Structure 1
Amino acid sequence: MSKLFGTDGIRGRANSWPITPDMGVKIGKAAALFFAKSGQPARIVIGRDTRISGEMMEMAISSGIMAMGGTVFWLDVAPTPAVAYLTKFFEADAGIVISASHNPFHDNGVKFFDAKGLKLSLETEKKLAETILDPETDKKCEDVYRTGNRIYHGILMDDYREFLKSSIGDSFNLEGLKIIIDCANGASSFVAPKVLESLGAEIITIFNKPDGLNINNGCGSEHVDHLKKLVIEHKANAGLAFDGDADRLIAVDEKGNEITGDQIIAICSARAIETGHKKAGDTVVTTVMSNIGLKIALEKMGLQHEITDVGDRNVLFRMIETGSMIGGEDSGHMIFLDNHTTGDGIYSAIKLLEALKASGKPLSELSGIMSIFPQILINIDVREKPDLDKVPAIHSSIMDAEKKLEGKGRVLVRYSGTQPMCRVMVEGECQKETEKICNDIAGVVRAEIGA
């Protein structure tokens, strides 16, 4: 049962289990049953990204919810964070997003939010998985004589846009900034340009014509080469790249250099201190994938640094535990818990641009608040996922690498939670040596379990 959910919801290739129409109906029925309160039918907000299988899964899940008597508040195409925000705003019982985030178009997935707009805990996910896979769940709708309905609530997206605009404050705007936006042919295409233009920025938008097949295809937060060229060509102040469901942001400075999630977190943390929203001794939460340079930068600001396992949910719950207001992942998930419940690429972009304009400095200089240690990441497709500690050759290569680094770097080898992939990351003082160590480990992983 635990295999139904990965690190970020249910995910797989469209038309293969569990991303099939019949499973969609089961998921919808289970969700309506699971999130119903006090005997009342569940009210569930649903949104999706732009991939072609989204409508198929949206209809299947909606049918399951309605079969159980629930009501679907249908947003159509909407960023993942919009569903989180509007679930809480609309006082619904849950939110569902149909998206595979940064994955190619042929994948899809299902993410859940509770009534507070928060991702589900592992324990709650486990119980929901049991409900989805329980054969008795299907039968329970046989007693439902008053089936539910689907209500189009796309107008609620206006409330989400207003929420984004309000994050910058009434007395502040982005006038004088020229920004290029890469919407990844995804859900941000219909939100980000309008919001940033309304805040006064001059906007050039690319990859904002989704056709169901081109989402994340050579564009978006994982493919910023074209964005880098355009920023330099148009002499823009910055470039912003979102992923398919707009919960991630990667930026590009005026010189065409990539600005990582870690750097954005450092910049926004410093801005929060300047504006009095953060005091020395407060905590910033990131994952094991964050660069050592971030920890050093945060310490210089007088901030504590908490580290979690990979996954924005892990970051979120640690933030709640520690009272942290800023956290995220180097991959581009940033969470501003004082005003939001989940990672939001567009919201993060606004906070970054606010810091950029307030500083009066170019983004290349502003990002210098953090020095990046050489970090090499190699992704290897794998045929299976055995315990890495129990594969002698892999375990030995990791131990050898750590000895070579002599405590002046680190090694992290882990599986992707959403793809058949092993990630090998090595961080060290010397670029050349770091690359060699990472390649050596990757070679062993490829030989032992490579696809």
Structure 2
Amino acid sequence: MSRKIFGTDGVRGTANTYPMTAEMALRLGAAAGRFFRTDGRNGHRVVIGKDTRLSGYMLENALTAGLTSTGMNVLLLGPVPTPAVGYLTRSMRADLGIMISASHNPAHDNGIKFFGPDGFKLSDEAETEIEEILTGEIEPAQPENIGRARRIDDGRGRYVEYAKTTFPLRGQLSGLKVVIDCANGAAYRAAPEVLWELGAEVIPVGVTPNGHNINDHCGSTHLETAAAAVVAHGADLGISLDGDADRVMILDENGKVADGDQIMALFAARWAESGRLSGDALVATVMSNLGLERFLRSRGLRLERTAVGDRYVVERMREGGFNLGGEQSGHIVMTDYATTGDGLIAGLQFLAAMAETGKRASELVRQFDTVPQMLKNVRYGVGTEPLSAANVQAAITGAEARLNGSGRLLIRKSGTEPLIRVMAECEDEALLAEIVDGIVQAVESAA
């Protein structure tokens, strides 16, 4: 069965529009409940977290109704980061974890992500089985077996205390001034608390959510806000999270940005030197810059590439026994600490590198020279398949011939939005622009 509801990161779309409706959330909750509660017992638990979108209330209630209708007991965490849901699913012995969030997307979108009892995101196979249950009649529990729901008041506090344990130098943030941009999202309370309790002087940005302003000119996709705060306050570092805090961008004292590739390069080099890097390899996606691959190779390390999506990075890490991976977009996965990308814990590891080396952020944010890379997105209408158009295929074939092995070309559909992503890398920037623009024009005409 082909997956129709689930994308590369759960279910996502415009709130109150299929598939992100209350009706679908109720059915998804019931299907997930039926998938996990197979023995008829009433002891099964689900933890549900969310970010700060207004539609989160609607989806939270609908999911709870569906889950309890099949006999699952629901623990409601309220606004917490996505990695907190992964952590609490495992630590609270839940059978299932659910995060209601559309990550870096604007406030009018929302999404539903599922975690298994081990705290890792569900596999494609498990999501396909849930979709199969969705297609039929979902058997409800008997009246005496309907599940219960209750709010958990200390979920955020549990995650805060755990995050602090991942920083190896207690008290050594004293004297450091840190800007933390929480994107008016899920980490708006947890992230400033962690940094302050570890001793930093904290400049919070994006910590006044109102249901509509998540990722709005703030967070890891709008770095100008954090950069301005870093410079204005004379901060030593900026940490910019996205709406659900599973990814991060780092800014040095001058407001210069280190993306996920540069952060992973720093961690890989440091961990390799200390013997902590499992398998002498880093796992990243096909979007990571060629410069990262060259950087690792120069140190005798490997880059293992996967399809786009942090779930595929994690799957490869688990298959190969690797403990460091991520995406250029800022998902940094450190399985020594977390089961999914964790922007806050990655920020703490960067701070640890500053403290241990005595270097300023500006000395750490640029680990390698990037190969010129260009990425453009083309939106397409529902029901169209622009990549299969003859003119698009011809443009791609022509671009590959012009690169002639001197660079990389990657054309793909987004797994979370109706976008065609056109990415290319090569040393010749003029050729790079011509290639990308040519393919974009072809896609636009087909779309």
1:26-425 maps to which residues of 2 (within 5 A)? 26-36=27-37, 38-41=39-42, 42-134=44-136, 136-137=137-138, 140-141=139-140, 143-169=142-168, 173-278=172-277, 282-384=280-382, 390-425=388-423
Amino acid at match of 1:53: S
Aligned partners of 1:374 and 1:83: how far apart in 2? 37
Question: For the Cα contact (< 8 Å) 1:68–1:144, is it kept in 2?
Answer: no
Aligned partners of 2:143 and 2:125: how far apart in 1? 28
Offset at residue 142 of structure 1 (A): 5.8
Matched residue of 2:84: which SS?
helix
Offset at residue 154 of structure 1 (A): 2.6
Aligned partners of 1:234 and 1:208: how far apart in 2? 17
Aligned partners of 1:38 and 1:299: how far apart in 2? 50
Deviations 1:94-149 (A, max 9, x none): 10111111111111111000000011111111001111232x20xx2263333221
Give 5+ residue unaligned stretches, structure 1: none
Matched residue of 2:435: which SS?
helix
Matched residue of 1:401: which SS?
helix
Offset at residue 81 of structure 1 (A): 0.7
Amino acid at match of 1:154: D
CA RMSD of aligned residues (A): 1.7
- TM-score computed with the length of structure 1 as normaliser: 0.95
Q: Number of matched residues?
A: 445
Amino acid at match of 2:231: I
Aligned partners of 1:181 and 1:292: how far apart in 2? 29
Offset at residue 365 of structure 1 (A): 2.1
Change (3 A) 1:356 1:3: same
Offset at residue 33 of structure 1 (A): 1.5
Question: For the Cα contact (< 8 Å) 2:45–2:95, is it kept in 1?
Answer: yes
Offset at residue 60 of structure 1 (A): 0.7
Aligned partners of 2:427 and 2:254: how far apart in 1? 24
Residues 64-73 or 81-90, more deviating = 64-73
Aligned partners of 2:364 and 2:255: how far apart in 1? 14
Aligned partners of 1:177 and 1:230: how far apart in 2? 15
Moved over 4 A (4+): 384-389
Change (3 A) 1:210 1:333: same
Question: For the Cα contact (< 8 Å) 1:185–1:214, is it kept in 2?
Answer: yes
Residues 106-115 or 393-402, more deviating = 393-402
Aligned partners of 2:302 and 2:446: how far apart in 1? 39
Change (3 A) 1:170 1:180: closer
Offset at residue 227 of structure 1 (A): 1.6
Amino acid at match of 1:107: D
Identity in percent: 43
Offset at residue 225 of structure 1 (A): 1.3
Aligned partners of 1:218 and 1:170: how far apart in 2? 33
Offset at residue 172 of structure 1 (A): 6.3
Aligned partners of 1:4 and 1:255: how far apart in 2? 43
Offset at residue 398 of structure 1 (A): 1.6
Question: For the Cα contact (< 8 Å) 2:168–2:352, is it kept in 1?
Answer: no
Offset at residue 377 of structure 1 (A): 0.8
Deviations 1:289-314 (A, max 9, x none): 00001111111222111000001110
Offset at residue 247 of structure 1 (A): 0.5
Aligned partners of 2:388 and 2:63: how far apart in 1? 40
Amino acid at match of 2:28: I
Offset at residue 158 of structure 1 (A): 1.4
Offset at residue 323 of structure 1 (A): 1.0
Question: For the Cα contact (< 8 Å) 1:388–1:395, is it kept in 2?
Answer: no
Amino acid at match of 2:294: I
Change (3 A) 1:388 1:226: same
Question: For the Cα contact (< 8 Å) 1:283–1:322, is it kept in 2?
Answer: no
Question: For the Cα contact (< 8 Å) 1:267–1:369, is it kept in 2?
Answer: yes
Amino acid at match of 2:352: E
Residues 42-51 or 23-32, more deviating = 23-32
Aligned partners of 1:389 and 1:184: how far apart in 2? 34
Offset at residue 36 of structure 1 (A): 1.8
Offset at residue 386 of structure 1 (A): 5.6
Amino acid at match of 1:62: T
Deviations 1:287-346 (A, max 9, x none): 000000111111122211100000111000100111111000001111001221111111
Deviations 1:343-384 (A, max 9, x none): 111111111111122222222221332211111111111114
Residues 65-74 or 260-269, more deviating = 65-74
Aligned partners of 2:222 and 2:205: how far apart in 1? 13
Aligned partners of 1:293 and 1:213: how far apart in 2? 38
Change (3 A) 1:171 1:50: closer
Aligned partners of 1:184 and 1:147: how far apart in 2? 37
Are 1:21 and 2:22 counterparts? Answer: yes
Amino acid at match of 1:98: I
Aligned partners of 2:419 and 2:347: how far apart in 1? 29
Amino acid at match of 1:106: H
Change (3 A) 1:386 1:298: farther
Offset at residue 217 of structure 1 (A): 1.1
Aligned partners of 1:204 and 1:364: how far apart in 2? 19
Matched residue of 2:75: which SS?
strand
- TM-score computed with the length of structure 2 as normaliser: 0.96
Give 5+ residue unaligned stretches, structure 2: none
Question: For the Cα contact (< 8 Å) 1:380–1:446, is it kept in 2?
Answer: yes
Q: Quote the residue 1:447 is aligned against.
A: 445
Amino acid at match of 2:315: F
Amino acid at match of 2:159: Y
Residues 73-82 or 27-36, more deviating = 27-36
